[in-house]
Amino acid sequence: MVVACVWISSKDHLRFVSGELLDSFIPLTVQLQSSQPITERAAHEAARLIAKYAGGSIPDTSTLLKRDNKYDVMEATESTKEHTQGVDQDGTDYSYFIEVEIGSEKKTMYMLIDTGAGSSWVMGTSCTSKACEMHNTFGEGDSDSLEVSKSDFNIAYGSGKVSGTWATDTITVAGMSIKYQFGLTHTTSDQFLEFAFDGILGLAINKGSDSNFLNALAKSKEVEKNMFCVALNRAADGTNEGEISFGSPNPDKYSGKITYTSIGEDNDWAIEIDDMGYNGKKADIGGIRSFIDTGTSFMFGSPDNVKKLHALIDGAQSSDGTTYTVPCDSNGNLTVTFSGVDYVISPKDWVSPPNKDGKCTSNVYGFEVVKGAWLLGDTFIKNVYAVFDADERRIGFAINAITDGSSDDSEDSSSSTKTMTASQATKTSDDTEETGITTTSGSKASAVPDMGLGKESVSSGTATADSSEPTETKDSSAPSGPLSQARFTFIFCIVSFFALLA
């Protein structure tokens, strides 16, 4: 077994150890295979999320198509709506991405849609890393209009990292072609062997960065409103009708009303959560921020809050406060409440498939990626139609018609309306109608969560040819919110075990 040990410290206080593990270490079981168990995927995810932010039933694989580079892709149906594009996935609800055309020859690249990333990048043709050899790449031979700068970049994702050079070219997303600055990687860590996508499309709200896609889209005047809306599919449900639309919501993809919550003053897609619950019982774990991250597979919260939530679930058990085993036949709904509206999370999404021992785990993990906040990834987002409105600085939710199967009228509402009618919405007040990080402790091993590429740590500087390792340079393009201000420092160690831990 290989255990990756992580400890986190702030920019102003860094501790080193030699030959011993401190309490601040988080051991993570890591296995770089596409067929990883859920808990091992979660371990990878937690590691990456720390850097960004300082499921479901087993599908029918007959719906998957093989890419030239051997990755499976569950392709989305084509959309006829303007400024709208289908969202593909890997067939396991693990990552969601779109086909993007880049350059004069319109080369297709698969890019992860990531609301926690402020910048974008694709694997470059000059990259000789194993991950690049397995993916589509882009470079000067693919476009006459490509402009490569002399400025390099380095992005850390916890256990993964990429480095390369900033470049500018025409990028086409959802039928819109804009001139855009993005990164071309020279080195890409092996962690990206796990994913089908060739790069990341950063959809964070941070303003002022040339590499921010929403900024570039707003300047292009391609859409009247600087917003995008996401409807993700569940692989086990069959045909992939997931999509992302820019400029306005698509009434065909949601039911009930869209209820909005302000993101406040920070440049993060994060809103205050009222509460969470299970089968109608509330856990009293709200009143704090919740980051809504399309680049994260699972859900993360503080150990105390996650413990309170699982206390409502019959049979939920944990030996470490991070990963919880739950009865595989659990059929109750989790609820997440924003602006007085309960949004339901189906057990199809919050209960993992059985592992080799026949045990199921909850996809809600007691791991505090962001201090004092929740992080809600695709486990939650699959159940809602999510509207990210940069102009009005708010996030809206309605019922996802793809995964819910219901259909009601589709008018927008302000956050004060709090009315939504659909099968997944519940009344929360009289006037409201709207709807494994496997951690080890001593000789014990228990499971926690992988994936997720939330807010990345970005640095930029002068490009150096044939540079294989990122250099620490002035941070010029990282988001300006409180997460980026923390500027976590990460140290990883690999410890080999020659015996299985109990």
- Picking from 267, 197, 258, 266, the residue whose alpha carbon sits closest to that of residue 229 is 258
Q: HSE of 6 in the Cβ direction (CA atoms, 13 Å)?
A: 27
Report d(CA 443, CA 191) in Å as an integer. 27
Could you give the C-alpha distances from 339 to 334, 400, 440, in angstroms and in order? 17, 18, 38
235 DSSP 8-state letter: G
Task: Count how many residues are written for the chain.
Answer: 502
Four-point Cα dihedral 132, 134, 138, 139, nearest 10? 50
81 DSSP 8-state letter: S
Four-point Cα dihedral 414, 416, 420, 425, nearest 10? 130
DSSP readout, 265-282? TSSSSEEEE-EEEETTEE
Report d(CA 458, CA 375) in Å as an integer. 20
23: which residues sit within 8 A by CB, 6+ positions away? none
Whether the CB-CB separation of 91 and 64 falls below 8 Å is answered with: yes
466: which residues sit within 8 A by CB, 6+ positions away? none
Q: Is 293 a catalytic residue?
A: yes
Report d(CA 450, CA 438) in Å as an integer. 10
Extended strands (E) in 103-242: 107-114, 121-123, 147-157, 160-173, 176-188, 199-202, 227-231
Residue 229, beta-bridge partner list: 245, 387
Q: Is 68 a catalytic residue?
A: no
- Picking from 280, 276, 303, 298, the residue whose alpha carbon sits closest to that of residue 288 is 276
Whether the CB-CB separation of 413 and 257 falls below 8 Å is answered with: yes
Report d(CA 241, CA 391) in Å as an integer. 27
Catalytic residue among 88, 90, 93, 114: 114
Backbone angles phi, psi at 290, to 5 degrees: -135, 120
Catalytic residue among 169, 268, 293, 378: 293
DSSP readout, 286-355? -SEEEEE-TT-SSEEE-HHHHHHHHTTSTT-B-SSSS--EE-TT--PPEEEEETTEEEEE-HHHHBPPP-
465: which residues sit within 8 A by CB, 6+ positions away? none
Could you give the C-alpha distances from 282 to 276, 361, 398, 434, in angstroms and in order? 6, 21, 21, 17
Catalytic residue set: 114, 293
